[in-house]
Every structure is written in C-alpha cells, then in structure tokens.
C-alpha cells in the first residue's frame, strides 16, 4: 500500500545492496500510497597509506600532495622526543601500506628538537592540531651561584624547571618561596606538581643549595 520512491546509494561497510536508511523512518504513520525513499549500500572505495617514516616534516606540502592523490587527509602532527634528527617523521597512524577507506585521516609523529622543562612549553601552532607529550626533564645546566641576600623571599621561579604553571600549583599549596620549597616533602611536591618524586626531589635539592649560600 506504499510506493517506492527514490533509490540512492552510499558507500558503506554493510554488504552491497543492504538498505541502510529510509525516509520516512520505520514506525512513522503515513497515508496509504505514500512514497518511501531508500538508501542502498555500495562497496567503500579503498586506498593504500603511503610511507612517510624517516621523511621530514619540512616537506609538509609534498606530504599533503601525496595524501591528496590517494584521497587521504593529514590529521594531527604529534611532537615527541627522539634520537632522530629534528623534524624526522618517526611514526604514522595508520601504518604505511595499510588499506583504508578513502578520505581517512593519517596522523604523524615527529621528532622534536629538545626536552621540555616545564608544562608552560608549547610549540608553534601550525595548520594542524599539535599534541605535546608529558614534560621531560634532563640534567640542568650549571646554576648561578651569585649570593642571595634574602632566601626567605627568593621567588620560586629561581629554581630551574619551574615556570608559571608549576609556580601557580606550588603557590596554591602554600609553597611560595625557595625557603618553603627547601623544607618541603618530595612526595607532597610531586603530588602538587603532578610529576614524579625524582623531579620533585631535584627541585627541593636546588632550593636547599640556594638556601645554603
């Protein structure tokens, strides 16, 4: 008592010929003789993911062009510390050679130049989203041993590796000066900064060195 209306097709993972949608939807009350349009599945078009490993992100235009030729899109560019040269593409997702549906997104992981000392750090924002790994600490450079007149009021940011974010977290917990930090508990500091105890202990040790000058 109903009539078949338009029959459209759409690429879908369902078996070819499956009705994947209809208008009006199931359960809708309609008049006798109304038209029902349907959408039928057809096989999805697939493509192969190119290999970008060991390439350089500075060749971003070539990367975009190659993806475009294969009906793919560039997704996130993730920066991570590596022993590879700065800008080297060290990972990609999906992997090279994978068979994927056209218009899929390919994410790249790129070697960054140096470690991050504080979570204030952000790389230059480009055309694509940037994802930053957790801050990583490396051995600090030689400290400035210039005598400090009043360590009770020495700003907490005098400690290597403490930026505005860490300073704010410490301040909220009552640790506002080098003197406070020098006598703080490493476990407590680690919890406040949301970091590990090794990093917290290193900061406390620096504060104690300044305090003894």
Would 139 be classed as within a structural domain?
Answer: no
pTM, 2 dp:
0.44
Residues 51 and 115 in one domain: yes
First to last CA, the chain: 95
- Does residue 152 surpass a pLDDT of 60? no
Q: Check: CB of residue 78 under 8 Å from CB of residue 131.
A: yes
Range of the structural domain that residue 89 is part of: 47-132
Euclidean distance between CA atoms 25 and 33, whole angstroms: 16
Residues 6+ apart with CB under 8 A from 192: 169, 170, 172, 173, 175
Residues 54 and 37 in one domain: no
Would 115 be classed as within a structural domain?
Answer: yes
Give the pLDDT confidence score for residue 158 in this predicted structure.
80
Domain count, the chain: 3
| DSSP string of 99-114, one letter each residue | EEETT-EEEEEEEESS
Give the pLDDT confidence score for residue 131 in this predicted structure.
46
Euclidean distance between CA atoms 78 and 143, whole angstroms: 32
Q: pLDDT tens for residues 22-48?
A: 998 888 988 999 999 999 988 888 899
Torsion angle defined by CA atoms of residues 51, 57, 62 and 65, in that order, rounded to the nearest 10 degrees:
70
Give the pLDDT confidence score for residue 117 in this predicted structure.
41
- Does residue 12 surpass a pLDDT of 90? no
Structure tokens at 77: 């560019």
Residues 31 and 55 in one domain: no
């Amino acid at each position: 008592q109903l009539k078949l209306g338009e029959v459209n097709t759409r690429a879908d993972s369902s078996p070819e010929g499956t009705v994947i949608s209809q208008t009006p939807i199931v359960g809708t009350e309609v008049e006798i003789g109304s038209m029902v349009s349907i959408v039928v599945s057809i096989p999805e078009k697939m493509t192969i993911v190119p290999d970008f490993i060991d390439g350089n992100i500075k060749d971003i235009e070539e990367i975009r062009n190659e993806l475009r030729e294969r009906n793919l899109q560039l997704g996130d560019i993730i920066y991570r510390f590596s022993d590879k040269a700065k800008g080297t593409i060290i990972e990609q997702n999906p992997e090279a050679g994978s068979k994927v549906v056209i218009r899929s997104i390919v994410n790249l992981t790129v070697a960054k130049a140096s470690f991050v000392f504080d979570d204030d750090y952000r790389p230059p924002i480009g055309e694509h989203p940037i994802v930053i790994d957790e801050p990583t600490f490396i051995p600090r450079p030689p400290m400035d041993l210039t005598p400090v007149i009043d360590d009770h009021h020495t700003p907490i940011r005098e400690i290597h590796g403490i930026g505005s974010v860490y300073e704010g977290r410490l301040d909220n917990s009552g640790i506002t000066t080098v003197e406070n930090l020098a006598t703080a508990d490493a476990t407590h500091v680690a919890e406040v900064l949301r970091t590990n105890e090794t990093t917290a202990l290193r900061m406390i040790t620096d504060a104690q060195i300044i305090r003894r000058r």
